[in-house]
Structure 1
Amino acid sequence: MSVLAASTATKLEPFLLLAKSAKSAACAQLIQDALAAPGVFVFGELLDVPSVRELENSEQHSQHFRLLSIFAYGTVQDYKANQASLPALTPQQLKKLRQLTIATLSSRSRVLGYDLLLEVLDIDNLRELEDLIIDAIYQNIISGKLDQRKKCLVVEFAMGRDVKPDQVHAILGILREWLATSENILTQTENKIQSVRDEALARQADADNFQRQLEDAKSRTKATAAQRPRRSDFDMGGIMLSDDRDDHPRTMPKRKGKDGVHSFRR
């Protein structure tokens, strides 16, 4: 919960308690007090109190319910369009509604020109506009900065406002679509991860198989080499003879006689 939401909830609590037992004119006056109360900027809970909802069909006090609805999710333009059938605003209420209107505009665009704000907020004084914005920043309704050179408000954050009843289904549809898209992305991501794992396992299996084949080849090579006959370490180019004592061939050195004929001695 944001600082503003926590502060508003605390300051709105006394009005919620009183509204449970307030009826008719007392309930209408309670609405007027809540709309002017410093630090109270969210009114959805007050709208949901049964005694307040009863005012919607009241001939004498339905205008107070409509006024409360505008403060919950409307703008200065909504008030001006129905001003003839609504209670007059006190200076505190008008200031609050203008600041709530800035929050609504900020949710649509992060850069708000002075000309647009002056028109929508029904203000004809630039100094008054800047003072209103600065106070909204101090109240944590918005967060941003004034660019006097470019004559605009650059918004970094804006408080959330209540949702109109006829917008609930549309928002639910958007959330369902977002949920379906998120689940689809999650499924694709999991499939990709599994595919990468499978490929890694396949590469490891190929590497293990290659290593086994290499070891087998080395073993066969060693076995073949061990079965080949060995030559004597002493070989002077003579004739290979068989030695009956150890069955190993050996070489007898050559001797040359007087007649030049080679002879061999054992």
Structure 2
Amino acid sequence: MNAAAVAERTNELLVRFNLTTAATQMAGRLEQAGHQQALSIVLEGLEMEAEAREQRKISRLRRASQLPPGKTFDTLELGVLQPALGRKLRELACGEFLDNAANLLAFGPPGVGKSHAASALGHALIEQGHTVLFRPAYQLVQELLAAKRELTLPRLLRRLDTVELLILDDIGYLKQSAEEAEVLFTLIAQRYERHSVMITSNLVFSEWERIFKEPMATAAAIDRLVHHSIILEFNASSYRNRHRQRTDGQPGNGTGANKSGSEDK
């Protein structure tokens, strides 16, 4: 790095750390005094500080995200998924879809890796400094319903609105009352064209009346989700079943899945 580049980068980091007075004075004074080596040492220290701050930020974002630990692209068997789907997931990990508030809709039967893929995508986005929140759909709906009853729903919605990507896992297992469907629709409407939602579901759209109960509410929810959306179809054989066969040697046909909670973690 030449002298001009060192001075420019030093100023950039000083400004980032809100050391604006030092930014206007330090590089020029050291250069004037002929202390180019000293300026390089200052820059090295600033780069170390920048890296440490970035890692602390990522750690904070990861804790706040509630993402399952270890469910990353490193542990996701992309080779088990359809090649086009694997490539699309890697492409989405760049985060460009967040700029357009595009939604991600992951469909497929139980055990095909939907939840793991959603989590892996969330971890990858956090590495780039994006905010992510991962919640089982049934848990978040209950929190929304409790907030509505306590007259704090607007506050909770505002807090959720600060997250760039909200991942609702296993929406297909919700069997809601009209009141629960209403708060879920309120959440979807609140984020529409503002921030991205990722939904994993074993139900195709034609079965979503099981969630929203009324045809009009179902159509309205689907309309908001599908507009500016990317659909991910998981049609491979059971991802969980393959892992089980590899680890314990026992065959499985995927028919014994527990449908009370998340299916494809």
TM over 0.5: no
- Kindly indicate whether structure 1 or structure 2 has the higher relative contact order, using CA contacts under 8 Å at least 6 residues apart: 2
Largest Rg, 1 or 2: 1
Q: TM-score, normalised by structure 1?
A: 0.27
Q: TM-score, normalised by structure 2?
A: 0.27
